[in-house]
Structure formats: C-alpha cells, structure tokens
Amino acid sequence: MDGFLSASTGDEGHFQIDGSYLIHNEEVLRTTSGNFRFYFGIKAVLRFGHEARTLVGVPLGLVHYSGRNSSGIYRMGVYMEIAPAIRLAADEEAKMSEEPKNASVAVGIRLFI
C-alpha cells in the first residue's frame, strides 16, 4: 500500500488524497545488486475543491531500494512512476468541457515505516 495527501494553495486550490496498491516484481528487471524493482498496481485519487474529481489509474514504475535496517528490511526507495487514469463520476457540465482522461508522472522518495 502506498498513499499520500497533497494540497494546492493557488487561486483554484484543492486538497487531494491518493492511494495505491502496488505489486513489486523482481523478475522483470534483474540486476547484480537486486535493489531495482519494477512495480505496477491500481490507484484511486480523490480531489476536493474547485475541480473536484475521482480518478482510477494504473501506476507503473521503477524503484531503487537502499538503507536496510537491522532486520534486513529496506528503509527508503527512490522511484519514477507514470500513472494513466480515467475520471469517474463527472457531472454533466464537466463531461461537456473536459476530457475524462488524466495521467500523472512522479519522481520521489518513499520512506518505509
């Protein structure tokens, strides 16, 4: 499971909740260190504010793990991800003025707690 909260404070600010269920696959990309993993999953996004919307997507990404703790579990991962998504539950006005598709691209750090 992976999730985050975000907020925009611009003129048309919003608050957003993202949640993903990710499956990491060691077989797709083999390296000598074994620290790189391909992942895929399903994602839900709820955005509140001026442009309220609900999205469902499929995140695809690559993560590099580092920093093992005393139990041998990784503590951090640096990742790159693309997540094509479709918009759900759009009202009639939004359906007429906007495309129902969306995609996000992300580069970041995940901390495992």
Tens digit of each residue's pLDDT (9 = 90 or more) over 8-40: 777 677 888 989 999 887 777 666 666 788 899
Q: How far apart are CA 93 and CA 75, in angstroms?
A: 45
DSSP state for residue 33 in the 8-state scheme: S
Mean local confidence (pLDDT), 81-90: 82
CA–CA gap between residue 64 and residue 36 (Å, rounded):
4
Global confidence as pTM: 0.69
Give first-to-last CA distance, the chain, whole Å.
Answer: 12
Confidence band of 42 (pLDDT split at 50, 70, 90): very high
Q: Average pLDDT in the 53-68 region?
A: 86
- 26 with 33: CB under 8 angstroms? no
Residue 90 predicted with pLDDT over 90: no
Q: 4 Cβ partners below 8 Å, 6+ apart?
A: 18
